[in-house]
Amino acid sequence: MTSLLFTHATVVTMDPAQPLLQDAYVSVDGPKITFVGTARPFGDYDREIDCTGKVLMPGFVNAHTHVPMVAMRGYGDGNDLQDWLNHYIFPVEARWDDRAAACCADLGLAEMIASGVTCIADMYMRTGVIAQRVAAAGISANLSVGGVLFSDTFDPGTDHDCIALRELTEQWHGYDDGRILADASIHAEYTSRPAMWDWTAAYARDHGLGMHVHISETRSEHEACIARHGRTPIQVLDDHGVWDGRAIAAHCVWTTPEDWAVMAAKGVSAVHNPMSNLKLGSGIAPIPAMRKAGVNVCLGTDGVSSNNCTDLFGDMKLAAILHNGANCDPLALLPGDALSMATVNGAKALGRHTGVVANGYAADLILVDFSRLNLTPCHSVISNLVYAAHGCDVVMNMARGKVIYENGEFLTLDLDRIRREVEGYALPKLFG
Amino acid sequence: MTSLLFTHATVVTMDPAQPLLQDAYVSVDGPKITFVGTARPFGDYDREIDCTGKVLMPGFVNAHTHVPMVAMRGYGDGNDLQDWLNHYIFPVEARWDDRAAACCADLGLAEMIASGVTCIADMYMRTGVIAQRVAAAGISANLSVGGVLFSDTFDPGTDHDCIALRELTEQWHGYDDGRILADASIHAEYTSRPAMWDWTAAYARDHGLGMHVHISETRSEHEACIARHGRTPIQVLDDHGVWDGRAIAAHCVWTTPEDWAVMAAKGVSAVHNPMSNLKLGSGIAPIPAMRKAGVNVCLGTDGVSSNNCTDLFGDMKLAAILHNGANCDPLALLPGDALSMATVNGAKALGRHTGVVANGYAADLILVDFSRLNLTPCHSVISNLVYAAHGCDVVMNMARGKVIYENGEFLTLDLDRIRREVEGYALPKLFG
């Protein structure tokens, strides 16, 4: 078990008891934080990191991603949504194999790690491969299968996604003291059927899994559900018990006040994906109103093909300013609200004891170099983090007590090998 | 006169005749581009730069800035607009002196240069000091005085801003073959008076200057003008001849179709400042409609206090996605449109022969490192530049043929001295 002491740190804790500490000490033993305060703790440490000029904060929780889609960055951009999906994204997705998925997962994880992410909720195909790559990379992940069912007949014994969920649960749920969790999932209301919702909700309940669903991302999808069922996606899935456990609802752009009441009552977290929602023309999610209605709102980048990067600093800044502009209210969302969405709210959504720098929490920590030009001068640490910092200002990423990225170097990933695999194998395989 | 050859470059030219070149050559003699093509030009060069893995493109034109306001990054954030202005921004602005303005201008210019800006339109106080710092830094600038007049009596012989404009024009207009230009300016309709508009319009006409004005940034300002004059700010200033020459109208959030007709007819360029407009709760400017109406739309960061950084990549990405989301149309603004706004449209707005990589244009060029993780893989150079690149991916900035920034080093600015001056003198002076 390795111990480490951060010294002389400006610490953004996300802990209401001591939100901002100057010239502080944070100690880490094994995977956990063991001390946070301004007096040096007793004892010797295997390593000390002098944080002068840097800000120590919780690593980001990217609560809605599709990691291997990094392979499709910018592919088919400039087409309308249906052409983009049908002629670009879906044909490529049919060509995945495990080897391509593995190196593209590595590439996506590397980009996230370098920009300060320590925890993700990912939904995609070949989740066993993604689990292996997450296990090797060192971060935490809630993994889910993009459960799709277009057929009206449903046999959980033979359905591909049900088999994949069972395999994921058996092989990976709880791995490394819960670093990897399986979440049950329904891709979306419009891509599945009631029999599958019932089975998935029961499976989650029986195995203590969370749930991950795309909800009301586009207006047409939301309205088609009402036309079909007389109720919104949140409501119709609620009728089938989908929200009875911990749950993540991604996008929620067109959700209604009635939906928010269900979400608040059932503890369904909304994932705001502002970059993706704007780029794809989905709309602007009513985040301030959802927060007022008591919904836990966290933050995600969505897949790279609809963002087109995984720098959660970008989504955090956009969340912090977009709703001010859309509501003509400069106080609609405060910078501290956006920072909570990117950290502690995400941790809650994923059912994890992280996102806070406090004794007993997971040692998921990043260091941001505040000597950078774009962070000079600093009148407010929080303002600088939310409005002015970029992923490239992250100089260290520690996941569960292990330094996995430092000063541009990856300690768990072989970037040269990843690049060779992506360029030499995955891209020719996927794009011909 | 120094000559330089860029070799093996992927070139985004913004020249419709050859928009994207692979493995190309670009030569520079003195301040100008002398060749762009895929065959190596004849001749020897003082220096060659191998651009393998990098994209060569026009430097950005930041068409609306207040450079010294970098000192106020994040200062007073989280207050409503009037409290923010009255209790934070204005009191600090009253404390400027030349020494503080000089080092803060340097700091602001350094941040812009490092993120790829080669040309700015700046409006602020102490323009003589700013001109000196721009002259030393090496980039091009249209400088203007933030012409404010609250009094109903107006004497151009004693008015502070009129004197400042005359000094700026006499001392700096046309400096270094037009690298620095004086623009006439009116801060805004609501902060000035008709007698000043008449004088300023006449002064611009007599001296061949452009014009720089804040227009319809907030709804209340726009509607108060209509209540006062029965016409919008664009229209009432048009009545006073303000738009008779080249002109830049910043923000334009609440402008109307009638305003756009005036702007298109008179050649008034709109500067879109999406980060600032969202953060301050000003609203969402109707950019796609303005473009359809024939208005030249360019891009600005606004001052750092309302952004809170000067990474024009951020504003470019936001422009490219915001209007898709606000209009629920993924094709409302294409990535190429946003790139034009940040380069060639800005050059047009500022009256400059730059923003295009073509023979005879100013050698204002930047190199973007496409080997970065966030730009890997690359299916579309334009998509990657607009949606996925950040200012920190810029590895070289050439202004008028001189390399002024390369691999993190500034060649015209002494960053250590600037930091010492800002921390040791300007911040204590401004913030006590």
Q: How far apart are CA B147 and CA B191, in angstroms?
A: 8
Encode B405-422: b = buried (16+ Cβ within 10 Å), e = exposed. Answer: beeeebebbeeeebbebb
Q: Which CATH class is domain B60-350?
A: alpha beta
pLDDT surpasses 80 at A81: no
Listed in sequence order, the residues at least 6 apart from A86 whose beta carbon sits closer than 8 Å to its beta carbon are none
| Min distance B222 CA to chain A CA atoms (Å) | 14
Percent of chain A at pLDDT exceeding 70: 100
CB B317 within 8 A of CB B274: no
Q: How many CB atoms lie within 10 A of CB A261?
A: 15
The CA distance from A241 to A199, in Å, is 10
Instruction: Give the residue among A385, A400, A395 at the shortest CA–CA distance from A354.
Output: A400
What secondary structure letter does DSSP report for A356?
S
**Cα-flanking dihedrals φ and ψ of residue A41, to 5°?**
-75, 155
CA of A243, closest CA in chain B: separation in Å?
28
The boundaries of every CATH 3.20.20.140 domain in chain B are 60-350
The pLDDT of residue A119 is above 80: yes
**CATH number for the segment(s) A3-59+355-410:** 2.30.40.10
Structure tokens at B214: 């804040």
* 3-state percent breakdown (helix, strand, coil) of chain B, nearest 5: 45, 25, 35
Q: Evaluate whether A422 touches A104 at the Cβ level (below 8 Å).
A: yes
CA distance A295 to A289: 9
- How many angstroms away from the CA of A380 is the closest CA of chain B? 6
Backbone phi, psi, residue B76, to 5°? 80, 5
Contacts with A262 (C-beta within 8 Å, 6 or more apart), sequence order: A234, A235, A238, A243, A268
Q: Which residues pair with A366 in a beta bridge?
A: A57, A397
Query: What phi, psi does A171 have (nearest 5°)?
Result: -85, -30
Predicted confidence (pLDDT) at residue B147 exceeds the cutoff of 80: no
| Cβ atoms of residues A120 and A364 within 8 Å | no
pLDDT, position A206: 98
Mean pLDDT over B204-222 rounds to 97
**Is residue B47 scored above 90 in pLDDT?**
yes
Strand intervals (E) in A300-369: 365-369
Q: What is the largest CA-CA distance in chain A?
A: 65
Average pLDDT, chain A: 97
Which pLDDT value is given to residue B113?
Answer: 98
Q: Check pLDDT > 90 for residue A132.
A: yes
Work out the angle at residue A42's Cα, subtended by the Cα atoms of residues A11 and A396, and round it to the nearest 5 degrees.
35
Which pLDDT does position B432 carry in this prediction? Answer: 87
**A90 contact partners, CB below 8 Å, separation of at least 6:** none
Give, for B137, the enclosing helix (H) or strand (E).
Answer: helix B127-137
pLDDT value for A351: 98
Task: Report the distance separating Cα B203 and Cα B162, nearest Å.
Answer: 9
Question: Residue A348 phi/psi, 5° resolution?
Answer: -65, -45
Provide CATH code, domain B3-58+355-410. Answer: 2.30.40.10
Chosen from B72, B77, B331, B415 to mutate, greatest number of chain A CBs within 10 A: B77
Q: How confident is the model at residue B161 (pLDDT cuts 50, 70, 90)?
A: very high
Q: Are A87 and A72 in contact (CB under 8 A)?
A: no
Residue reference for tokens 């107006």: B154
* CB-CB contact of B72 with B305 (8 Å): yes
Chain B contact present for A321, CB below 8 A = yes
Neighbours of A128 (CB within 10 A): 15
Minimum Cα–Cα distance from B423: chain A residue: A377
The reply to whether A383 touches chain B by the CB within 8 Å rule is yes
| pLDDT (0 to 100) of residue A432 | 87
Work out whether strand B3-12 and strand B20-29 pair parallel, antiparallel, or are unpaired. antiparallel
Q: What is the mean pLDDT of chain B?
A: 97
Confidence tier at B146 by pLDDT (50, 70, 90): confident
Interface of B with A in 266-305 (CB under 8 A): 274-275, 277-284, 304
Q: How far is A419 from chain B (nearest CA, A)?
A: 9
| CA pair distance B376, B378, nearest whole angstrom | 5
B59, B214, B313 from A379: Cα distances, Å: 30, 27, 24
**Least Cα separation, residue A422 to chain B (angstroms):** 8
pLDDT in tens, B66-79: 999 999 999 999 88
CATH 2.30.40.10 in chain A: give the residue spans.
3-59+355-410
CATH class of A60-349: alpha beta
What stretches of B214-256 show up as alpha helix (H) in DSSP?
219-229, 233-239
pLDDT in tens, A262-301: 999 999 999 999 999 999 999 999 999 999 999 999 999 9
Tell me whether 0.85 is exceeded by the ipTM. Answer: yes
**Which one, of B163, B171, B161, B176, lies nearest residue B212 by Cα?**
B161
pLDDT digits (tens, 9 = 90+) for B318-370: 999 999 999 999 999 999 999 999 999 999 999 999 999 999 999 999 999 99
pLDDT for the residue numbered B150 = 81
Q: Which two tokens stand for residue B63?
A: 């068409």
Report the residue of A55, A69, A70, A73 to disrupt the B interface, i.e. the one with the largest count of B CBs within 10 Å: A73
Instruction: Say whether pLDDT at A319 is over 80.
Output: yes
- The DSSP bridge partners found for residue B4 are B28, B47
Q: Do A73 and B219 touch (CB under 8 A)?
A: no
**With bands split at pLDDT 50, 70 and 90, how would you rate the model's confidence at B153?**
confident
The sign of the CA dihedral B53, B355, B285, B191 is: positive
- B89 at A interface, C-beta within 8 A: no
Bridge partners of residue B184, in order along the sequence: B211
Residues of A in Cβ contact (< 8 Å) with B314: 314, 317
What is the pLDDT averaged over residues A191-213? Answer: 97
> Hey, of A83, A280, A316, A379, which one would you mutate to test binding to chain B, going by the most B CBs within 10 A of its CB?
A379
Please give the pLDDT value at position A402.
98
CA–CA gap between residue A370 and residue A394 (Å, rounded): 9
**CA proximity to A302, closest of A82, A112, A110:** A112
A308 close contact with B: CB closer than 8 A: yes
**pTM listed for this prediction:** 0.98
Q: Provide, as residue numbers in chain B, all residues whose Cβ is less than 8 Å from the Cβ of A114.
A: 373
Dihedral through CA B321, CA B327, CA B329, CA B335, nearest 10? -30
Q: What percent of chain B has pLDDT over 90?
A: 95
Residue A85: the pLDDT is: 86
From A349-363, B86-100, B138-152, the region with the lowest mean pLDDT: B138-152
Per DSSP bridges, beta strands A3-12 and A54-58 are: parallel
Per-residue pLDDT tens for B50-96?
A: 999 999 999 999 999 999 999 999 999 988 778 888 899 999 999 99
pLDDT in tens, B254-271: 999 999 999 999 999 999
Residue A150, pLDDT score? 80
Residue A233: asked if its preceding bond is cis (omega within 30°), the reply is no
- Category of A251 on φ-ψ map: left (φ > 0), alpha (ψ -120 to 50) or beta: left
Q: Which of A71, A80, A275 has the CB atom closest to B331's CB atom?
A: A80
Verify whether the Cβ–Cβ distance A325 to B277 is below 8 Å.
yes
Helix (H, G, I), strand (E, B) or coil at A70: helix
d(CA B386, CA B392): 14
> Of A104, A108, A130, nearest to A423 (Cα)?
A104
Indicate yes or no: CB of A390 within 8 angstroms of CB of B391.
Answer: yes
CATH 2.30.40.10 maps onto chain B at 3-58+355-410
CA contacts within 13 A on the Cβ side of B347: 20
Of B430, B427, B421, whose CA–CA distance to B110 is shortest? B421
**Tokens encoding B431:** 């913030």
Mean pLDDT of B272-281: 97
Residue B152 confidence (pLDDT): 82
